[in-house]
């Protein structure tokens, strides 16, 4: 799967209405005071949201096309802005924010890791992705089917969908069924396309398919068993990531969805607590990591 995304017309200048949005969100979180952070939420919500979206796109424009080495040595880029703004957006987002959030994941793997370092970086993008799932789940399905993106970004979206499928304890039975049916439909359609695409590799490869399979198993979507059998029979998966077929079928039948950590959506813990106190991501290793 080749990364061929061409980017978008990123703003070259930062045109925001409230300069304090940049001043605060460009800082190391350790240097942001509670008073500074709280002041941002006194800004009218629509204006704050517009400034946040502009800030993310402007920062992505500065980073566009640069390698990991170039990003690390470039003094014009800032690896706090996107992390911080993804958190603050949780209190002010509009539907237009969803495409901006997904734009972060349309970047190269080097850029994604620069802004959301290592696996713990998932912590800062999954909360906003959960909002996308709640209001515009079709956008996540379309993302998994989009050509030219990195397999790493599709792994992040698959991870989010699995988390949504496992978050059942605090929800009503009716809501759990709605989420289950939504996920079942998304993954069924995605697998159909992946099966047709493979091994061409325009929209998926073994890495992507394996993480989608892993998400399906973790979500307990037993009704997709026949599609999983097809995927395994065509040698489309890496079993070090998603395990053996027979084990997965048994797990979905007998245990249902997995017991995965919830997604923290509180802006204050996300902004100010060390990641390991929020979620260490150790609950969902690949099979090869166990």
Whether the pLDDT of residue 69 is over 90: the answer is yes
Whether the pLDDT of residue 117 is over 80: the answer is no
- Cα angle, residue 210 at apex, residues 204 and 213 outer, rounded to 5°: 105
The pLDDT value recorded for residue 225 is 97
**Is the CB of residue 153 less than 8 Å from the CB of residue 106?**
yes
Residues near 183 by beta carbon (within 8 Å), at least 6 away in sequence: 161, 164, 165, 219, 221
Quick one: average pLDDT of 163-169? 78
At residue 250, what are phi and psi to the nearest 5 degrees?
Answer: -65, -40
The pLDDT value recorded for residue 276 is 55
Domain locations in the chain? 15-117, 136-282
pLDDT band at 275 (very low <50, low <70, confident <90, very high): low
Whether the pLDDT of residue 48 is over 90: the answer is yes
Task: Return the biggest CA–CA distance within the chain.
Answer: 57
The pLDDT value recorded for residue 59 is 98
Q: How many CB atoms lie within 10 A of CB 288?
A: 11
Whether the pLDDT of residue 160 is over 50: the answer is yes
Quick one: average pLDDT of 70-94? 96
**Is the CB of residue 146 less than 8 Å from the CB of residue 6?**
no
More confident residue, 67 or 171: 67
Quick one: average pLDDT of 223-244? 97
């Amino acid at each position: 799967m080749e990364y061929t995304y061409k980017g978008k017309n990123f703003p070259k200048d930062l045109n925001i209405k409230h300069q304090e949005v940049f001043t605060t969100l460009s800082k190391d979180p350790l240097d942001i005071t509670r008073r500074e952070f709280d002041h941002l939420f006194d800004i009218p919500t629509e204006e704050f949201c517009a400034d946040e979206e502009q800030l993310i796109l402007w920062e992505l424009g500065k980073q566009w096309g640069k390698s990991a080495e170039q990003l690390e040595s470039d003094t014009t880029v800032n690896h706090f802005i996107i992390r911080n703004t993804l958190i603050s957006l949780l209190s002010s987002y509009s539907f237009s924010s969803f495409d901006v959030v997904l734009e972060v994941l349309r970047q190269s793997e080097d850029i994604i890791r620069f802004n959301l370092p290592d696996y713990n970086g998932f912590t800062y993008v999954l909360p906003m992705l959960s909002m996308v799932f709640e209001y515009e789940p079709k956008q996540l399905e379309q993302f998994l089917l989009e050509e030219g993106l990195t397999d790493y970004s599709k792994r992040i979206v698959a991870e989010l969908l699995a988390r949504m499928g496992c978050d059942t304890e605090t929800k009503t039975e009716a809501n759990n069924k709605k989420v289950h049916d939504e996920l079942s439909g998304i993954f069924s359609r995605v697998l159909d396309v992946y099966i047709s695409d493979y091994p061409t590799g325009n929209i998926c490869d073994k890495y992507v398919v394996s993480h989608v399979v892993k998400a399906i198993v973790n979500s307990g979507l037993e009704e997709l068993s026949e599609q999983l059998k097809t995927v395994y029979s065509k040698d489309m998966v890496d079993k070090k990531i998603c395990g053996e077929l027979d084990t997965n079928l048994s797990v979905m039948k007998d245990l249902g969805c997995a017991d995965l950590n919830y997604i923290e959506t509180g802006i204050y813990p996300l902004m100010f607590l060390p990641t390991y106190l929020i979620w260490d991501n150790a609950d969902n290793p690949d099979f090869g990591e166990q």
